Structure 1
């Protein structure tokens, strides 16, 4: 092994050790910020320079910038004059995290001369910015007029992109004489409703029933969504034939009685 190659190996090892020590001293722990989704562009999230005890006057010369982990979209900027984190892009919690209970974005503040990496976390809080929605515009049923009182009919569940108390919390049914609403809760906490026949139907009196079902979330202020319910009452053989008398008189003293069905 040549002396020149040995010197190269030693220098490489020393460089690797120096780089490791440097990075160990310039990578810092996480700073966390919690703020609601849908804040306007330019809104202040927090002062990261103050929280990390950085010299605001050197942010520009050290080319301070925000990088994202995993090449994700950059949702915030740093104001080089004040050290404040500001909203750079519209942040829609549902687009980013869906129905997850926690919505966390990991990003980095990078400074040069010397190189420093400061990781920070954005906790996006849910806002009540979505209304409950039903999959269909109309829920249709065909019910025999002979259906027993207490019969149950499952209703479509309303869906809300928000989570927690901002999701669907209750249902209400338009007042009527035939049906009442029963609200139930699934094992996952989601609520749904069913119609209960409260008064027997009579097609001869009413062939159709039209109702409105409303879903309401628990936000402040609450949001709601509606769906129409259309019920067609089907005929049942619940009426016996009835005969009527028809009198036919051919003269004042002669009348004939005829049974007519």
Structure 2
């Protein structure tokens, strides 16, 4: 590690002011940032912790929408998001107890790791990412591996999840890291079905639109039996080939639909 300034503001305005320093970086759960700092892959001169801002922590539900504060730990989402059981179950599968009690939903979405779980939930739910400056639809927010619509110094203050009629998340876990080798979140709404995939593509989280169309017409595992997933843009590494991940997308989608029933 190396020397750096640590700032822990008590309000969003204070955090935004601290982040005006071009060498400053926001710190939420730090589950990705701290390891990269230890390896000197990231060397900010100032860390601005968001965990001391009370307004950014909490889970609430109103009018068919579940709202989660940006600095809410995974463990809190797992325990308090009962109005959206699939989201609570997803949060309960992230990492281990230490990670779930330290990592935050805002940190995960801001980092947008290609194998993270929350991006699939946000995209499949048609969620809204709320920042200190604006609201961003999930379809516009995710822009590729580790890339989002966030501007420099912009902070995720919360996430709004429309609660579906039925939903399920299926995760094929990489056993060492507990990241998703591939994960699929299926959410059924009155106006159709959304299917989001994480851990599989070089472009990060994505929607499987062909499955969405088939499942919107017939919400059963049989509806996707004739579909195939192209492996061209899939991740290929020592944990699984591109073709393997492409097959997992279809298998896990069918399992998620079956679980919804």
- What interval of TM-score do these two structures reach, taking the shorter chain for normalisation? under 0.3
Higher helix share goes to which structure?
A: 2
* Structure of larger gyration radius: 1
Q: TM-score, normalized by length of structure 2?
A: 0.26
Q: TM-score, normalized by length of structure 1?
A: 0.26
